[in-house]
Amino acid sequence: MATQEHDQWRYLIIWEFRVRAGGGRFEKVYGPLGDWARFFARDDGYVRTELNHDLKDSRRYTTLDFWISEDAYENFREQHASEYAVLDHKFEVLTESELEIGKFERVTNQS
């Protein structure tokens, strides 16, 4: 992805996960080329997903989902609610817990 495309995001959702033993499958499903990212990529408002692994707690991860706007994300969720629920249910066996840390708006310097 070109840098310009990478920087177009304005809305970010951060999730924290505690994975069950053996996080390899979790990383494939929740990573930037995984099932969730491919699902989101069907929408033009989706920018990218980043997966982060805690250095001190091997079972703790965060995902960062970047979107061009809150509206883009909310519209996608609304239009694909049933598919979202199916994926969420399918992969809940990989985690012990899932917590939405927050939804953030990008701050830009406007001179």
DSSP classification of residue 6: H
Residue 7, pLDDT score: 73
Enumerate the H helices of the chain as residue ranges.
Answer: 3-6, 24-30, 35-40, 70-79, 81-91
Residue 1, pLDDT score: 39
Please check whether residue 106 is in contact with residue 9, taking contact to mean a CB–CB distance below 8 angstroms.
yes
Digit-by-digit pLDDT tens for the chain (111 residues) are 334 555 789 999 999 999 997 778 999 999 999 999 999 999 999 999 999 999 999 999 999 999 999 999 999 999 999 999 999 999 999 999 999 999 999 987 665
Residue 2, pLDDT score: 39
Residue 24, pLDDT score: 87
Domains along the chain?
3-105 (3.30.70.100)
For residue 90, count CB atoms less than 10 angstroms from its CB and return exposed for 0-12, middle for 13-18, buried for 19 or more. exposed
* Dist. CA 96–CA 98, nearest whole Å: 7
